[in-house]
Amino acid sequence: MRTHFSASPWWYIPLVTSFALGTLSCSTKEDKKDGAVLPDEDNAELKLPDGFGALKVADSIGTARHLVVNKNGDVLVKLNRPKDGKGIVILSDKDQDGRADSQTGFGDYGGTGITLKGNYLYASSNTSVFRYTLNADELPENTNVPDTIVHGLIDRRQHNSKSIVLDENENIYVNIGAYSNACQERDRTKDSPGMYPCTILDSAGGIWKFKANAMKQSYGEGTRYATGLRNVVGLDWNKQDNSLYVMQHGRDNLHDLFPELYDTEASAELPAETLYKVKEGDDAGWPYVYYDQKQGKKILSPEYGGDGKKEAEEGKGKDAIDPLVAFPAHMAPNDLLFYTGSMFPEKYKNGAFVAFHGSWNRAPEEQEGFMVAFVPFQAGKPSGEWEVFANGFAGTGPVMSPGDAKHRPCGLAQGPDGSLYVSDDANGTIYRIIYSGK
């Protein structure tokens, strides 16, 4: 197993340099070549590595969750709550300057998941997955009558987003998050014991696999592909090694529930947010264990007899898989994307971008995250330390409460030219990050 975690003060490693725009800042249309996309003068207030620039494709479109870009460069964004009755926004850019000049929408449901595969667009509500046939312009048709691929999935508010991705064999993978923090008999309640076995895992806390081309499936028609995953929002299918990768949101409230074992600082820094490669039948160990990135071990949850040091036990996470990468706690990884484009420098090819939504469970410590990270990969394995790729979404100055963050990264998509798109569900901004350095 490899973990990639730097010792304190890991957060402040100066991995990113501000990109001074300099000579690229001539964004008037008279100056630019036809079809050239230029970054905003201030790079949309983002901090990026040298040679990269950013622009705002659109602003204030609503609670923008996951997004996709079709072959023509139209951006389709799933909204958590419909805006003006439309839960999916289509942003088009007729004059090809990178900034959307037309916005339409469809779909009267909120949700998170959206993906393109073959001749179809797939999108999810918090209980169902729908499918739309694409027309010749790569846009969905008959948007009022989508096919219902999956329905009846559990939604008890907590961790209810249903992220989706397809493999190369007509299967669709759907995250069903656990409606619980740590599978206590009474959720997040001090002195309430952990349920054993955790019955939540029968219908949630894992990834379910369904046929992408069959109608009206529910639990009975699907299979539990992987379990012991508390909540996954970001997931991607890696075509290089034909495998599913997921980002788990680690548990909360260690100090609130066990103040005698964890002080506020330990609670702010534990447990890791974890990247897993999952094979069919894998168990990542929730709720019995969590991953402690400092000890580099799976630690028995205090609800199940743990004391912060005891390791996984038989029947309680002993056979759980280990993460490929352990990120700092509570940063809320909301999307994962393996980059296959050719626009970015070679080091980014086939590596993983992770959009972190930013923390809330670090209070009273400063909140962290609100950035896009990058993990280099070679041959299906991380080949170096993770690093901050894009930062500055939250604005300047420390964020003590997530409500203070101006923007919160939530979704990632790759454009046909290799641009990286990032959505923000706090202010509804869609960013496009391009590479123009030589």
Q: How many residues does the chain have?
A: 438
Shortest distance, position 260 Cβ to other proteins, whole Å: 13
- Total residues contacting other proteins by CB under 8 A comes to 46
Closer residue to other proteins in complex, CB, 202/366: 366
14 lines the binding site for other proteins (CB under 8 A): yes
Q: Which residue in the set 1, 9, 169, 379 belongs to the binding site for other proteins (CB under 8 A)? A: 9
Q: Which residue in the set 392, 409, 411, 415 belongs to the binding site for other proteins (CB under 8 A)? A: 392
Closer residue to other proteins in complex, CB, 37/433: 433
- The CA distance from 427 to 78, in Å, is 14
Q: Which residue in the set 41, 137, 185, 366 belongs to the binding site for other proteins (CB under 8 A)? A: 366
Phi, psi of 270 (to 5 degrees): -130, 150
Shortest distance, position 156 Cβ to other proteins, whole Å: 9
- The CA distance from 364 to 201, in Å, is 32
Closer residue to other proteins in complex, CB, 187/311: 187
Shortest distance, position 375 Cβ to other proteins, whole Å: 17
Q: Please list the residues that pair with 79 across neighbouring strands.
A: 64
Spell out the residues 6+ positions from residue 368 whose beta carbon is closer than 8 angstroms to its own.
Answer: 11, 328, 330, 331, 358, 359, 362
Q: Which residue in the set 94, 260, 403, 438 belongs to the binding site for other proteins (CB under 8 A)? A: 403
Shortest distance, position 264 Cβ to other proteins, whole Å: 8
Residue span binding other proteins (CB under 8 A) among the ranges 7-15, 85-93, 303-311, 346-354: 7-15
13 lines the binding site for other proteins (CB under 8 A): yes
Residue span binding other proteins (CB under 8 A) among the ranges 34-42, 279-287, 311-319, 400-408: 400-408
Q: Which residue in the set 26, 36, 215, 400 belongs to the binding site for other proteins (CB under 8 A)? A: 400
35 lines the binding site for other proteins (CB under 8 A): no
Query: Residue 338 in contact with residue 289, Cβ under 8 Å?
Result: no
DSSP letter assigned to residue 317: B
Phi, psi of 323 (to 5 degrees): -75, 155
- The CA distance from 435 to 345, in Å, is 8
Positive/negative CA dihedral, 60, 62, 63, 64: negative
415 lines the binding site for other proteins (CB under 8 A): no
Return the residues of window 66-125 that contact other proteins according to CB under 8 A: 80
45 lines the binding site for other proteins (CB under 8 A): no
Q: Distance of CA 46 to CAs 81, 389, 396, Å? A: 26, 10, 10
Query: Residue 205 in contact with residue 227, Cβ under 8 Å?
Result: yes
Closer residue to other proteins in complex, CB, 203/253: 253
Phi, psi of 69 (to 5 degrees): -125, 130
- The CA distance from 126 to 223, in Å, is 18
* H or E element, residue 262: none
Closer residue to other proteins in complex, CB, 128/231: 231
Query: Residue 115 in contact with residue 140, Cβ under 8 Å?
Result: no
Q: Which residue in the set 143, 160, 217, 248 belongs to the binding site for other proteins (CB under 8 A)? A: 160
- The CA distance from 186 to 257, in Å, is 12
Return the residues of window 250-279 that contact other proteins according to CB under 8 A: 252-253, 255-256, 259, 267
Q: Which residue in the set 361, 414, 423, 429 belongs to the binding site for other proteins (CB under 8 A)? A: 361
Tokens of 418: 């290799």
For tokens 């009558």, name the residue: 145
Site residues (CB under 8 A) for other proteins?
9, 11-18, 47, 80, 157-160, 186-191, 252-253, 255-256, 259, 267, 360-361, 363-366, 371, 388, 391-392, 396-398, 400-404, 426
